[in-house]
């Protein structure tokens, strides 16, 4: 371990000591978030790690990628654990992160062949996932440095993250001004508000790519977590994980989570869609549809710790990714290797490949309009 890495870790330990949980579920109150140096990029840009805590929840957020590097919540006995996968150093985030905790843009998930046409113009995006463009291409919002401003507002605490994506960046038209607000409420909810404007017609699909393991990061597989997902339909994909256009019923398939079911229950079913995804890696069509206010989407529970996470969103879709491509080569925050199924993602979003699917809810943003999207993670225990 390098000296600088040790210094960063020592700094982190000191910061943690001032905020140490008392063992009760509501140990933290909403003080203004503070920052410490986390590392430096090759071009000399300093990357900071912000710590914000409120209610029972504490988040650590990097200015690189807006990455949630740690998310601590209590179990049913009030013991906190970091329930998000990540790294303890910047170099690993830069070199090999599968989007751990990151903000995703300009377009979450895949665009077929990295191509789309808008108002008669054709655009070609970088191909970084076989024949397709994934999560904004090879240098998406997860690899950009965000301007961060802390705030307190009433009993809320939070961070405002800003990034201006120049016209043509990663192949997308229009200067896109993006603001993402992470808020922790006094009840320990983590809320994400996205806003974006453009000066030319473009396509946008913003999300957050946290990998959860509610028993604690690095503690093994997530297959015994239960998931209840309010979605009667999902978007089946081809072998390159591009939607076929069908909105298929989940009934009598491994994709039926309408009643709580263990994540791992049907992952070994020889269903062609499970084969394509190497597990579940699919967009679910939320029953509530696109809404002006965040509405209920899902509940995840981890039986041993009793931790529960509910998600509410304005978005019409939810990508459920069961950590299929983790392969035991990445060493996580606490020094353990992540193997297949050691974390899962639930990414609120518009549907993949919408720019090529006029029948899907539109992802087109035009000058004068403001894209707004909100997703709330509410934590509790049982
Ligand atoms: C995608 C997966 C991809 C993962 C990490 C998810 O959002 O659906 O196919 O492997 O992100 O890159």
Nearest by Cα to 363 from 108, 123, 133, 145:
108
* Per-residue model confidence as pLDDT tens digits over 48-81: 999 999 999 999 999 999 999 999 999 999 999 9
Whether the predicted pLDDT of 6 surpasses 60:
no
| Residues found in the chain | 382
Mean pLDDT, rounded, for 132-152: 98
What is the per-residue pLDDT for 30?
Answer: 79
Confidence band, pLDDT 50/70/90 cuts, at residue 4: very low
* CATH code for the domain in which residue 338 is found: 2.70.98.10
3-state per-residue secondary structure call for 39-80: EECCCCCEEEEEEEEEECEEEEEECECCCEEEEEEECCCCCE
Q: Is 109 in the pocket of ligand 1 (CB under 6 A)?
A: yes
Alpha helices in 224-296 (DSSP H): 272-277
* Per-residue model confidence as pLDDT tens digits over 303-332: 999 999 999 999 999 999 999 999 999 999
* Per-residue model confidence as pLDDT tens digits over 85-116: 999 999 999 999 999 999 999 999 999 999 99
Cα atoms found within 13 Å of the Cα of residue 315, Cβ hemisphere only: 32
The residue whose CB lies within 8 Å of the most ligand 1 atoms, and thus the one to mutate among 134, 141, 209, is 134
The residue whose CB lies within 8 Å of the most ligand 1 atoms, and thus the one to mutate among 345, 349, 350, 353, is 345
The residue whose CB lies within 8 Å of the most ligand 1 atoms, and thus the one to mutate among 135, 207, 239, is 135
Whether the predicted pLDDT of 21 surpasses 80:
no
DSSP string, 133-157: EETTSTT-GGGSBPEEEEEEETTEE
Q: Is 312 in the pocket of ligand 1 (CB under 6 A)?
A: no
Mean pLDDT of the chain: 93
What is the per-residue pLDDT for 13?
Answer: 34
Prediction pTM value: 0.93
Cα–Cα dist 290/313, whole Å: 9
What is the per-residue pLDDT for 20?
Answer: 37
* Per-residue model confidence as pLDDT tens digits over 108-135: 999 999 999 999 999 999 999 999 999 9
Nearest protein CA to atom 9 of ligand 1, as residue: 281
Q: Is 321 in the pocket of ligand 1 (CB under 6 A)?
A: yes
What is the per-residue pLDDT for 27?
Answer: 63
* Per-residue model confidence as pLDDT tens digits over 189-224: 999 999 999 999 999 999 999 999 999 999 999 999
| Element (DSSP H or E) covering residue 162 | strand 156-165
Q: How many CB atoms lie within 10 A of CB 295?
A: 17
Q: 27 vs 93, 158, 328, 330, CA distance in Å?
A: 30, 17, 34, 32
Could you list the residue range(s) of the whole structural domain that residue 97 is in?
Answer: 3-381
Mean pLDDT, rounded, for 175-179: 98
Q: 50 vs 55, 59, 283, CA distance in Å?
A: 17, 8, 31
What is the per-residue pLDDT for 28?
Answer: 84
Contact between residue 317 and residue 286 where contact means Cβ atoms under 8 Å apart: yes
User: Is omega for the bond preceding 106 within 30 degrees of 0, making it cis?
Assistant: yes
Confidence band, pLDDT 50/70/90 cuts, at residue 26: low
Q: Is 142 in the pocket of ligand 1 (CB under 6 A)?
A: no
The alpha carbon of 281 and the centre of ligand 1 are apart by a number of angstroms equal to 7
Count of domains in the chain? 1
| Three-state secondary structure call for residue 206 | coil
Q: What percentage of residues in the chain have a pLDDT greater than 90?
A: 92
The alpha carbon of 134 and the centre of ligand 1 are apart by a number of angstroms equal to 8
- Specify whether 347 is catalytic: yes
Whether the predicted pLDDT of 174 surpasses 50:
yes
Token couple for 237: 């994909």
What is the per-residue pLDDT for 5?
Answer: 33
Nearest protein CA to atom 10 of ligand 1, as residue: 325
């Amino acid at each position: 371990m390098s000296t600088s890495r040790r210094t960063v870790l020592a700094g982190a330990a000191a910061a943690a000591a001032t905020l140490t949980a008392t063992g009760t579920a509501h140990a933290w109150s909403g003080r203004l978030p503070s920052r410490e140096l986390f590392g430096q990029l090759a071009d000399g840009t300093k990357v900071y790690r912000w710590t914000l805590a409120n209610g029972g929840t504490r988040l650590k957020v990097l200015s690189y990628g807006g990455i949630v590097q740690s998310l601590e919540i209590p179990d049913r006995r009030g013991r906190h654990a970091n329930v998000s996968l990540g790294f303890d150093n910047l170099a690993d985030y830069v070199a090999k992160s599968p989007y751990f905790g990151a903000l995703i843009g300009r377009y979450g998930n895949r665009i077929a062949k990295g191509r789309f046409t808008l108002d008669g113009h054709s655009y070609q995006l970088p191909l970084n996932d076989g024949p397709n463009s994934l999560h904004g291409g090879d240098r998406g919002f997860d690899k950009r440095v965000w301007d961060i401003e802390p705030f307190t507002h009433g009993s809320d605490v939070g961070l405002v993250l800003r990034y201006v994506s120049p016209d043509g960046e990663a192949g997308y038209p229009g200067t896109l001004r993006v603001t993402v607000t992470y808020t922790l409420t006094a009840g320990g909810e983590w809320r994400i508000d996205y806003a974006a404007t453009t000066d030319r017609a473009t396509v946008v699909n913003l999300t957050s790519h946290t990998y959860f393991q509610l028993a604690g990061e690095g503690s093994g597989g997530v297959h015994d977590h239960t998931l209840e997902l309010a979605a009667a339909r999902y978007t089946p994909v081809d072998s390159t994980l591009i939607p076929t256009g069908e909105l298929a019923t989940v009934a009598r398939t491994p994709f039926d989570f309408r009643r709580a079911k263990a994540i791992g229950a049907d992952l070994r079913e020889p269903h062609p869609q499970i084969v394509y995804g190497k597990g579940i890696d699919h967009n679910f069509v939320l029953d509530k549809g696109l809404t002006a206010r965040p509405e209920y989407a899902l509940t995840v529970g981890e039986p041993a710790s009793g931790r529960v996470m509910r998600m509410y969103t304005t978005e019409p879709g939810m990508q459920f990714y069961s950590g299929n491509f983790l392969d035991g080569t990445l060493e996580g925050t606490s020094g353990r290797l992540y193997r297949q199924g050691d974390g899962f993602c639930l990414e609120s979003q518009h549907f993949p490949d919408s720019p090529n699917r006029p029948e899907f809810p539109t992802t087109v943003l035009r000058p004068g309009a403001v894209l707004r999207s909100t997703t709330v993670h509410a934590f509790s225990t049982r």
